[in-house]
Structure 1
Amino acid sequence: MTETEEILKAHEDHTGVLDIQSDLAVHNKTELGRAYTPGVAVISKMIAKDPSLKNKYTVSGKLVALVTDGSAVLGLGNIGPAGGLPVIEGKALLYKDLAGINAIPIAVDQVSADEIVSTIKNTAKSFAGIHLEDIAAPKCFEIEEKLNEQLDIPVYHDDQEGTAIVVLAGLINAAKVTGRSLDFMHVVINGVGASGLATAKLLYAVGIKHLTLIDVYGVVTANDDRYNKYQRDMAKTLNTPSDMLGKQLTDVMDDQDVFIGLSDKHLLSQTDVHRMAKDPIIFALANPVPEIEPEDAAKAGAKVIATGSSQHPNQVNNILAFPGLFKGLLESGITHVDAKLQEVVAKALASVVANPTADEIVPGVFDDQVVKTVTAAVVDYANTL
């Protein structure tokens, strides 16, 4: 049986990878009355008087909604809501297995941002938090902004906050390996969609000011109307010179310390790496094929190399962030994943690797300290508020 056949069989045999499991036994009239009627009438009346009690007496207090429209699935592109379901179903499995968090996958049609916001808002009483996944930019920015304004539960976009957190964690340790200071790093981010823009914002927030953003038309500048409002606003924040308009990746690689790729395969050349500063740091995170193959980056002089793949050392993957982060959110009652919290989590995640090396700047995805450390960091942060 081929690997593909084994994958299909595993998912077909179970009709997916998730089940709903009961927490109470129902084997007699007493147990039935306690779990369902007439017992639930007591709880329903209480919640009717005080809706907040739903979080104490119903699954809504521990259930996360994993929402996608399948418009920007990493490595696959726009494959539609149904096509996006296996991804969020898999993440729901990881939530449960790694952090004990109950999450349910929800696919929504590719409608306007306002319609998606309304759909989530109108069902939000069923959930303790919202995890957005694989929704294309710039719509995802608008959706998250509006949900944060309108809901009193945490809203988290894994492609934005999750990626930014893990990239920063890796960069903290890569800086130690190469003897650099974060504040003085010169960083190129290639690919300024949801992940790239969120990463740029977080790096800027922690003091990395020398950022150059590159996307499909070249350097992102505030005066380039081909880029969306969110991209242009970030370029304005960075004071990117307007005369950089149209310059391509290869035009800006001289003396750069770090390349962060959140884009597409084979966009970075060995020549580009040669032109970077001594001992450059390469995060080639495109999946399934990176912007430059790790062996090519190494031959060109890269000191630290990370990818998004488990086939190579230093896998920068959101799985290092979201299970422990959401566990911490639910335990602490924090309702907003702001830049400061992202920084705290990134530093905690970096600390899991006590003595970073070129081949280990982030912990492995199955390191049992990851979820514990990230959860504790969120709870400790909440205690400072």
Structure 2
Amino acid sequence: MSEASFDAGHEKKDALVKYTDQDVLDYHSKNFPGNGKIYIGSKTSLATTLDLTLAYSPGVAVACKVIEKEEEKVYDQCAVGNTVGIISNCTRVLGLGDIGPRAGLPVMEGKAILFKGFGFIDAFPIVLNEKDPDKIIDHCVAIAKSFGGINLEDIRKPDCFKIEEEVQKRVDIPVWHDDQWGTALVTVAGIINALKVAGKKFKDARITMTGSGASGIAISRMLLMAGIQGKNLILNDRNGAVYEGRPKGMDFAKEKIAKNTNPDHLEGDLATIVKKFTPDIMIGASNPKMFTANMIKDMNGPPIIFAIANPVPEIWPEDAFDAGAIICATGRSDYKNQINNVLGFPGVFRGALDVRAKTVNKEMKVAAANSLADSVPEDQLSKDMIIPSPLNHKVYLEEAVAVAEAAMRTEIHRINRTADWIREHFEKLRNFYMDNENPIIEKRKNY
């Protein structure tokens, strides 16, 4: 086969990696036993009659009684403290749209192995054949006691906003919609460092955000949380600039953003707004080819571009640089400066689980973004390096520390941990994974 069909139309030749459809299919299949990317293993022995008695009936009743008497003992007797449920109805999967639960399952399995490989967390994919947001909320709440946290994934807007908010109100574990906050966290970290490279101050930066989907709304919210001034931020959608009182194409999520941004009520399409507003940064979480060379030339130089639509960005990096951009980040792994959610959720959940947090609040989100930005040393920052490699395990370690400390500082934790404990625990988990689990992976293909 030729280049992967999902990237059809990508004729650029500067990509960092190349792959075919068959490469993808081979990666997902023939992984003994059976197929797919995940499996469940046992931590305890089943070699003797005593083992059987302790693991199940009748011995297991002792553990059940302890938990019945004091529910928090579940963290001592079960794996719940290191588990996350990945819950999706697959109504907005990547750039594929509403493809159904079975077709979305490879994405959820992929998420699970990223949780395991980078956060050393056991994550379980759960796909729901359900589109009613109220029923999804009830399903999530009903199974929440099985997990230490819930990661919502690939749920269409505006349902995703309601589902995350309502589930979090009804459970006492962290609920995180990664299409919102994972993208937002990594984007904000990248912006912090991009502005350093460009010699500009974060608090003074002017930004246009194109796209009012889950990630676009969350990026806007998190920029405000992190310190961007509302007067310096304009959200744009298919109906033009968003402002308070706009008569067309508003919903409750855009109304919230409008109250705190674009106070001058600038109107017009993106090209008009860029010309009037002269932003330092254009962010896109929208559609392919939304950004043009002329827009970049109308920006306040040196222009910074975050074109994170997948799989085809708002503008290809080569074209952005030709138009004068100093930095261009995308959502693709085959270009430098990838805005990759994997740099967020493993570290966030690792820190939240370590202190048994009850939610993920704004302080934890901002702490994670700042930690991620700080993981690129000042002397290594450049136009090609504003975001660290996802293969650097120390990124997740320090992110976990920052998140856990923010949780404890804001008193939404159940147990206190020192930074030293979190680091030591992380390294133990990593060493065990590398020594005992990682070597098995290659064996599966040849068994």
TM-score (norm 1): 0.96
1:218 alignment partner in structure 2: 240
Task: Give the 3 Å change call, closer, same or farther, for CA 46–286 of structure 1 in structure 2.
Answer: same
Residue correspondence of structure 1 range 94-173 to structure 2 within 5 A: 94-173=114-193
Give, as a single letter, the amino acid of the residue that structure 2 aligns with 1:382.
Answer: A
The Cα shift of 1:376 comes to 1.3
CA contact (8 A) 1:131 1:155 kept: yes
Ranges in structure 2 where 5+ consecutive residues have no aligned partner: 3-19, 411-447
- How many angstroms apart in 1 are the aligned matches of 2:209 and 2:65? 54
Describe the SS at the equivalent of 1:73. coil
Identity of aligned residues (%): 39
- How many angstroms apart in 1 are the aligned matches of 2:339 and 2:180? 14
- How many angstroms apart in 2 are the aligned matches of 1:338 and 1:225? 32
2:254 counterpart of 1:237: no
2:39 counterpart of 1:19: yes
2:7 alignment partner in structure 1: none
Task: Give the 3 Å change call, closer, same or farther, for CA 265–239 of structure 1 in structure 2.
Answer: closer
2:222 counterpart of 1:199: no
- How many angstroms apart in 2 are the aligned matches of 1:275 and 1:29? 75
The Cα shift of 1:89 comes to 0.7
Describe the SS at the equivalent of 2:259. helix
CA contact (8 A) 1:187 1:259 kept: yes
- How many angstroms apart in 2 are the aligned matches of 1:224 and 1:58? 53
2:65 counterpart of 1:45: yes
2:277 counterpart of 1:260: no
The Cα shift of 1:292 comes to 0.6
2:354 counterpart of 1:334: no
- How many angstroms apart in 2 are the aligned matches of 1:242 and 1:376? 41
Q: Which range moved further: 55-64 or 196-205?
A: 55-64
2:29 counterpart of 1:9: no
CA contact (8 A) 1:137 1:193 kept: yes
- How many angstroms apart in 2 are the aligned matches of 1:377 and 1:242? 37
Give, as a single letter, the amino acid of the residue that structure 2 aligns with 1:358.
Answer: K
Residue correspondence of structure 1 range 45-64 to structure 2 within 5 A: 45-64=65-84
2:13 alignment partner in structure 1: none
- How many angstroms apart in 1 are the aligned matches of 2:279 and 2:248? 26
CA contact (8 A) 1:166 1:318 kept: yes
Q: Which residue of the other structure, out of 296, 303, 320, is the alignment partner of 1:297?
A: 320
CA contact (8 A) 1:88 1:105 kept: yes
2:377 counterpart of 1:361: no
Deviations 1:123-164 (A, max 9, x none): 111111000011111111001111111110000111111111
Q: Which residue of the other structure, out of 287, 306, 317, is the alignment partner of 2:310?
A: 287
TM-score (norm 2): 0.83
Give, as a single letter, the amino acid of the residue that structure 2 aligns with 1:232.
Answer: E
- How many angstroms apart in 1 are the aligned matches of 2:189 and 2:365? 10
1:349 alignment partner in structure 2: 372
CA contact (8 A) 1:71 1:110 kept: no
RMSD: 1.5
Ranges in structure 1 where 5+ consecutive residues have no aligned partner: none
